Amino acid sequence: MHGPRRKMKVAGTIMTVNIFLFIVLEVSRSGGQGKGGDSKLNVPSKRFWARLAPSTGFWNREQQKLDLLHNPVVTNFSAGVTAGGALPFDLLPDWLNDTVGLESCEPDPRVALQLKDYNQLPQRFKDFLSYLRCRSYPLVVDQPHICQDGGPFLLLAIKSLMPHFDRRQAIRESWGRAGLLANRTVATVFLLGNATAEDHFPDLSAMLQYESAAHRDLLQWDYRDTFFNLTVKEVLFQHWVDTSCPRVSFIFKGDDDVFVNTPRILDFLKGLPPAKSRDLFIGDVITHAGPHRDKRVKYYIPETMFVGMYPPYAGGGGYLYSGDLARRLHAVSHQVALYPIDDVYTGMCLRKLGLAPEKHKGFRTFDVEEKFRGNPCTYKGLMLVHPRTPQDMIKIWGWLNDPKLTCQ
């Protein structure tokens, strides 16, 4: 079923090229036969489009396949091509023909044959690559009440791990308090996967059940919660927003080891022009960055996996964006191959939408100068500071809510 459809799409591409060249030749010929014109036929000496060649990076090749499948030119022209045509279907190269099961959740054994250094890669890479095409996992703990009655004005979505009970509780008691703040509805959800015995975690399921019943703010999916799977958490959350919270106005998404000045965020949003709110995406933006090639670095990516530079992206410690943009990010995420670094992946999705994150000086994902960290007024004008312990969160929140605090 998939084979003829793929071949039809490629046939459409070939037809597009042929039509374009025909137009060029006709225009050249008719243009030269006018009054005072040269009757010489102008024939292009070079191929207008270069033949599509496979990238040396595995991720890049996967993205090339998605780009082909979602190319509107190919889609529109392939609709008029019949399977019985005489076009050269066999010109489709094998590397581009492999589009079966693009969202399969079965491990892909072919990956081992497509990276020359596969056997030398750390296990986390092998796991990620084997399940690269899977982006759908069951939601085992949901909170449908969070977005009833139109949804909150501001949704605080915090990436957390099952064992981080103290961080979640500190957030609940400080900057993540749900309810009415500055006449705006604020809701908090914590995003979790599974802490598995495979990763040497103890069984915490009973404690998590108690926490969920007590606070009703956990979203949990049945997948292995690892660093490389943070991108999976991203796309699962995007889907949840699109289906369960489509009317949320704004979203702050961040880690569970940051301090967030929630009133400052609400104050910023109150003064935001409506024309700017639709495409809002602000944070601590990183530009002109590329993959780390040092194997000792947490963010190491081998050249056989990815080549090129990263688009501008906001550091994953935390960023603020509109609900409208969240829905568009979910729609376009199916056109972007999963990448093992979640904030880079979000930057890729923004690039696909023709957008870029905006840098805001209120986001300090690399902390503030040490000499200012103990000054309460340092945090007054900031939106986010990273990292902070649970004790720090409660202490800073107390500072900012002290009616005696005066800052010049």
How many Cα neighbours within 13 Å face the side chain of 28? 11
Here the tokens at position 52 are: 């599509």
**Is 173 among the domain residues?**
yes
Cα-Cα-Cα-Cα dihedral sign, residues 78, 79, 84, 86: negative
Residues 76 and 175 reside in one and the same domain: no
> What contacts 24+ positions apart, CB below 8 Å, involve 42-50?
48/17, 48/20, 48/21, 48/24, 49/17
Residues 152 and 75 reside in one and the same domain: no
| Residues facing 292 on adjacent strands | 300
Give yes or no for a contact between 97 and 183, defined as CB atoms under 8 angstroms apart: no
pLDDT tier for residue 68 given thresholds of 50, 70 and 90: confident
Say how many domains are in the chain. Answer: 2
β-bridge pairing 281-286 and 218-224: unpaired
Q: Is residue 19 predicted with pLDDT exceeding 60?
A: no
Predicted pLDDT at 291: 97
Q: Is residue 190 predicted with pLDDT exceeding 60?
A: yes
Element (H, E) at 35: none
Residues 66 and 155 reside in one and the same domain: no
pLDDT tier for residue 70 given thresholds of 50, 70 and 90: confident
Predicted pLDDT at 75: 56
* Counts for the chain of helices (H) and strands (E), in that order: 14, 12
Predicted pLDDT at 97: 61
Domain span at 17: 1-88
CA distance 316 to 293: 20
| Residues facing 250 on adjacent strands | 154, 322
Share of residues in the chain with pLDDT > 90 (%): 72
Residues 39 and 182 reside in one and the same domain: no
SS3 track for 304-347: CCCCCCCCCEEEEEEEEEEHHHHHHHHHHHCCCCCCCCHHHHHH
Lowest-confidence region among 44-58, 342-356, 380-394: 44-58
pLDDT tier for residue 249 given thresholds of 50, 70 and 90: very high
Residues 292 and 378 reside in one and the same domain: yes
Residues 181 and 322 reside in one and the same domain: yes
- For residue 29, the tally of other CB atoms under 10 A from its CB is 14
Residues 78 and 159 reside in one and the same domain: no
Higher-pLDDT residue of 92, 307: 307
